[in-house]
Amino acid sequence: MKVLVTGAKGLLGREVCRELGAGGSEVVPVDLDDVDLCEREPTLRLATEARPDAVVHCAAWTDVDACEADPDRAFRVNAVAARNAALAARRVGAKILHVSTDYIFSGREPGAYRETDPVGPLSVYGASKEAGERLVREQTPDHFVLRTAWLYGDSPRCFPATIERLARQYGPGGRPLRVVDDQRGTPTWSRELARQIARLLPTEAFGTYHATAQGDTTWYLFARRIIASLGLACEVEPCTTAEFPRPAPRPANSVLDNLFLRVQGLDVLQPWEGAWEEYVAERTSLP
């Protein structure tokens, strides 16, 4: 299978390229320096030249707080570019796997969100990603919309890297690291999600999916786990979201139930703690 991967230099895109390549697919990696996916004609040209069997659309503007300050850019990258990627896939008869987010939900419901639950984004980022989902579905029936959450991996921009950096900075006996304890979700290793994508992509089980590791935790408890597994010494204190205000509101409950993967026997994601320990054992380049 020939697969065009967008956002190929990003946290998830790099793992998707690696995983699909290892599985024998011919991978065509593209990122912003190859084409701006917000531009329709160049995006269509990319597909007609590459002639992929599938497009995995990982490109996005993922800076949640910056999106809040620039909604036009957020909708251009997270919605219009997703539409263009789907249009390009349709033009060459390819399927598309579009990556989306837990932030399309309000997080006000108490239980784990299923694919059938109503969306209700709180932030510009969430609204722009939700619009992207809809535009992809409208372009082609041959789509997978895969919602994930709390991604981490070999990137200086993810939560474990931030915690490690701060813990080293504060050090033992220094001021405590305060981390919010009233947002629940599931840390998901980008490599594990790439494995899930590689499992789903060759199928024709089109539709909308939730794809996170199993189980859930809070940012505070995850931070404690990170510090313990990396052998760091830094005090961690729980705090509330209200005590740690950010420009964009976050859902309090981000827990997703992988219902549609599970009932079709397609769920390959393990409990988050096991994936985390595997990542720690394998990690190569956290700063």
Ligand X SMILES: NC(=O)c1ccc[n+]([C@@H]2O[C@H](COP(=O)([O-])OP(=O)(O)OC[C@H]3O[C@@H](n4cnc5c(N)ncnc54)[C@H](OP(=O)(O)O)[C@@H]3O)[C@@H](O)[C@H]2O)c1
Residue (99 or 226) nearer to ligand X, CB? 99
Residue (140 or 212) nearer to ligand X, CB? 212
Residue (102 or 181) nearer to ligand X, CB? 102
Task: Round to whole Å and give the CA distance between 284 and 129.
Answer: 30
**Per-residue contact string for residues 162-191; x = within reach of ligand X by CB under 6 A:** ------------------------------
Residue 275 touching ligand X (CB under 6 A): no
The residue with its CB nearest to ligand X is 10
**Per-residue contact string for residues 86-115; x = within reach of ligand X by CB under 6 A:** -------------x-x--------------
Per-residue HEC secondary structure of the chain comes to CEEEEECCCCHHHHHHHHHHHHCCCEEEEECCCCCCCCCHHHHHHHHHHHCCCEEEECCCCCCHHHHHHCHHHHHHHHHHHHHHHHHHHHHCCCEEEEEEEHHHCCCCCCCCECCCCCCCCCCHHHHHHHHHHHHHHHHCCCEEEEEECCEECCCCCCHHHHHHHHHHHHCCCCCCEEEECCCEECCEEHHHHHHHHHHHCCCCCCEEEECCCECCEEHHHHHHHHHHHCCCCCCEEEECCCCCCCCCCCCCECCECCHHHHHCCCCCCCEHHHHHHHHHHHCCCCC
Residue 31 touching ligand X (CB under 6 A): yes
Task: Respond yes or no: is residue 103 known to be catalytic.
Answer: no
Contact pick of 13, 121, 249, 251 for ligand X (by CB under 6 A):
13
* Shortest distance in whole angstroms from residue 235 CB to ligand X: 26
Residue 32 touching ligand X (CB under 6 A): yes
Among the residue ranges 11-19, 197-205, 216-224, 233-241, the one whose residues contact ligand X (CB under 6 A): 11-19
Active-site entry in 103, 113, 125, 279:
125
Task: Round to whole Å and give the CA distance between 286 and 249.
Answer: 27
Residue 256 touching ligand X (CB under 6 A): no
Site for ligand X in 144-163 (CB under 6 A): 148-151
Residue 253 touching ligand X (CB under 6 A): no
Applying CB under 6 A, the residues found at the interface with ligand X are 6-7, 9-13, 31-32, 36-38, 58-62, 77, 81, 99, 101, 129, 148-151
Which residues are known catalytic residues? 125
